[in-house]
Each structure stands twice: as structure tokens, then as C-alpha cells.
Chains A and B, each alone.
Chain A
Amino acid sequence: MSDSLQRTPLYDLNLELGAKMVPFAGFEMPIQFPAGLMAEHLHTREKAGLFDVSHMGQIRIAAKSGDVKDAAAALETLVPADYVGLAAGRQRYGLLTNDEGGILDDLMVANMGHDLLVVVNAGCKVQDADRIEKALSDRCVVTRQFDRGLMALQGPAAEAALAPLCPAVKDMRFMDVIETELAGVKVTVSRSGYTGEDGFEIGCAGADSEKVARAILGQPDVLPIGLGARDSLRLEAGLCLYGNDIDVTTTPVEASLGWAIQKARREGGSREGGYPGAEVVLKQTRDGVERKRVGLLAEGRAPVRAGAKLFADAEGQKEIGVVTSGAFGPSVKAPVAMGYVASDHAAVDTPVFAELRGRYVPLHVRAMPFVAPGFKR
């Protein structure tokens, strides 16, 4: 594999566990382990799976004033979410937008009490950190923690597996974040993830990552899971993959992510707008959009993949959109997809047709997620 690829702190452990490694976002990452993608997916839905997600970027933002609310207010100039109203110990999803309202990245932001912990996508992390630093450096200290480890433990058995190592996790609910110790290591733990299941994301110093991972893998019902299953799990959960389902050409409204803009930032809210592209997003929220991201479920067994054109009719006469993610859903036991369709074809149960090897296969617009969420509210 190319020398230019970076390695995560869990690289050696991944190899020891039999991972098949592939290049992903500039890193050598495990696509699957010996159990295989299908078994790994189902194991995560039934028990618990541990994912190496250390390629993602961790960034801390501290206000020079010392008040975390000042850091939150500063970040709100880049992200259309309510972070001033985010309580200490809580985490919230958000989007970095550009001046056209396009999405530069999606991210998770946690109020750690004294500062903010931001987790961004691997492929965008340098550009994100540059943007945040440039916009916030007069008011905040922005620290890149790209050498830290990050792992996700996901699935209904996640709490039972983690609690013996870290009893505090039992008291956490969905989107809580704490700083604690796990196997004698200082960690950040959030009760969140990217699979639609209950679970945790655990951040720690790079040098401690293997110790933490081995402790978790030593618990009953935990298997290592690769990026392949991570993709089919997130797709069944209706969650966007940056670069596929959202990018600079899609706005939060088109992406059906309006829920990531809380009341305070909407029209008439106490801190309406005030982020890049706000005029575009506010106008689209008011007047509607021409296309929307929707879930799609196929009638047959043939998977419909990213890039497939979507039509209103079985003859391929009227093109109405495109698939942005598609795979066979191992838990749904049918092909699942998401994509953008013209807004007048976006209502749930609308039939659409995807071009597949010269024919047009029937699908229906369906509500997402495709699987019932397992979150502990």
C-alpha cells in the first residue's frame, strides 16, 4: 500500500486481528475483519461491535475568556446549530456551511464544560480546522488533536460491555458526554455513534488507544468491525456519508437536515441566521427547495448503487434525481438507498425507478431510518 497513507494508533492491532486494509481518506483503514462484512453488520445490530474511527479529526475549541458559552457563540458563526443553548455534558450534530449554503462537512460538537470538543470527518479535518481557526482565532484557542485515538462501540450489548471497565457509562443517556477513566486511561466518552444503535464513542491519547481497544475487545459479545459494515449500518440508519449524500452542492434544507438547525437559529429565533449561507438556507426553509434527500427501498433484490439515475416512470423518460448511497441492507434484508429526487416526487410511498444495467427497477420513497433506532433516551 502507498507510503503516503497515514496509520491510526490501532493499525498494528487491526492487522493482528486479521483486518483487510484499504486506503480511505488518506488512511490505511480496516474495511473488514475475518468475520466478513455481513456477519460484522449483523453482530453489531445484535450484540456489540468496536470500530476504529481514529482517522476522524478531534478538535478542541476554548474561549480566551474562559467561558465555554463564548466558544459556542463563536462556533455559531460557522454552523447553523444552537450551541449556546447546549448544556455542559451534552453533544449535538451540526453542519459547516459555505456562503452558498452548501455543506462543507458535518460534525459533532460537545460542550465539555470548560471547552468544546468537535469531531469532524477524516477527509475534511485539515480544511475544517483551518476554517475554524481562521474565523475564531481572535476569540478562541483552537487545538488540533489529530494524533488522538477514537473508537466507537456500537450495539445493544455496548453498555454491558463497557460498564465493567467504566461504570459511569450506565448513567449516560443518548448524546451525553463525559470525561472519565477507562482501564486506567483518561478518556472522553459520548453516548452516540453512526449505526442507529445504542453505543459510545471513546477518545483517548494515541498511545493509550491500543490498551483501551484491547480492554473493550476482551469483553463478552464484542467483535472488531470494519468500515464496510460501518457503511451498511449507517445507511440502514438513514445517516449521511459526507462526500456521497451531502457536499458543497447540497444545502441543509435539500439534504433534509433541517432538524440540525434548532429553533434559536431559524427565522424568528433569538439568534436567527448569522452563519455562512444563512440567507440561502432561510429562503429555502421558507419557500421550499427543488430537490430533497429521501430514503429509497427497492422492490426486487438487485442493489441500486450510488450514481444510479432516478426516473418517474419505468421507461426512463422523465429523470427526477440520483442515488447517492446504495447497498444491500443486511438487517433490512433488502436493497436500501438514499438519494435526491425532485420535491414533487419526495413524498413517502412515491414510486420511482432506478436505471440499472439498461433497465429500470422499481423503488419507493420510504421514511428513514430503515431500522428502528436503539438509542437510550
Chain B
Amino acid sequence: MTTYYTKSHEWIRVDGDQATVGITAHASEELGELVFVEAKDEGTEVAAGDAAAVVESVKAASDIYAPVAGTLAGFNDALSDDPTLVGKDPEGEGWIFRMTVANPDDLKGLLTAEQYKSL
């Protein structure tokens, strides 16, 4: 499994064409405690950069973008009951949605952990 990052502060962990997506610890800190998270329906086709989910703090709503093109494959239902999970463990239990990656070659255009850290 490999994890890639985006300039818009998503991470995507990939195993074959199956991927899990969330927001980075840095993004989570910037947003503060979340009060609501939702993703578009399973089966929705997304292009790279499309809004695939939304996270809301007390103050504002922020879109979470699909890092690459693909099909949404499920939402982390635990976040419906406890959206603060994202803040507690942004790159683990606080994952937001799963997706099937349309073209695994697209991942090469994303950032590595080192590249993201040096942003």
C-alpha cells in the first residue's frame, strides 16, 4: 500500500485500484473541530479535483476533492455519529471515503509524503 498526497491537503492510500481518501493532519488542524462530514453517494463518478465530500467546522464548509478520477466506493459511516474522529485520527480512523481509481497511472502525478511535507 502506498499513500500519496495532494496540494489541497488530501491523502489517498492505494491498494491496486482500491483507495481510501482523507484529509491530512495539517488540514485537520487548520479546520479545527469538525461538526459534520458527508460524501457524495457511492457509485458517483468523479474527475480529479471534483468535490467528492464536504467537511464542516462550526464556522465553515470545505470541499474535499477526489485526488484522481474514479468511482466513489463508500463513506466512513462512523463520521456520521462522530465527525470529530477526523480531528482525532485524520490519517487513520478519520478516513472519509473509499474510491475505485479509474487509471492507477494518474497516481504518479500526486505528491509523495516527503514532497507534501516540504510544501
Contacts and interface: CB of A to CB of B under 8 A. Distances in A.
A232 B83 CA distance: 18
A301 B61 CA distance: 13
Interface in B58-87: 58-61, 80, 83
Interface string A300-314: 011101000000000
B58 A305 contact: no
B110 interface: no
A330 B36 contact: no
A112 B56 CA distance: 44
B38 interface: yes
A38 B83 CA distance: 13
Interface residues of B, number: 14
Contacts of B80: 301
A123 interface: no
A134 interface: no
B36 A328 contact: yes
A328 B80 CA distance: 15
A37 B56 contact: no
Given A231-B59, A232-B58, A301 B32 contact: no
Interface in A5-36: 32, 36
Contact of B35 (A228, A305, A328): A328
Nearest to B80: A301
Given A328-B56, A357-B54, A303 B61 contact: yes
A328 B31 CA distance: 14
A257 B60 CA distance: 27
B67 to A, nearest CB: 20
B57 interface: yes
A255 B76 CA distance: 41
Nearest to B59: A228
A87 B43 CA distance: 67
Contact of A38 (B33, B38, B61): B33
Q: Could you say which interface size class chain A belongs to?
A: 10 to 19
Nearest to B38: A302
A371 interface: no
B61 A36 contact: no
Interface in A309-333: 327-328, 330
A301 B35 contact: yes
Contact of A228 (B36, B58, B61): B58
A41 interface: yes
Contact of A301 (B33, B36, B57, B59): B36
A327 B36 CA distance: 11
B35 A36 contact: no
Nearest to A228: B59
Interface of A: 32, 36-39, 41, 228, 231-232, 301-303, 305, 327-328, 330, 335, 357
21 contacts: A36-B32, A37-B32, A37-B57, A37-B59, A38-B58, A228-B58, A228-B59, A232-B58, A232-B59, A301-B83, A302-B36, A303-B36, A303-B61, A305-B60, A305-B61, A327-B58, A328-B56, A330-B35, A330-B58, A335-B36, A357-B54
Interface of B: 32-33, 35-36, 38, 54, 56-61, 80, 83
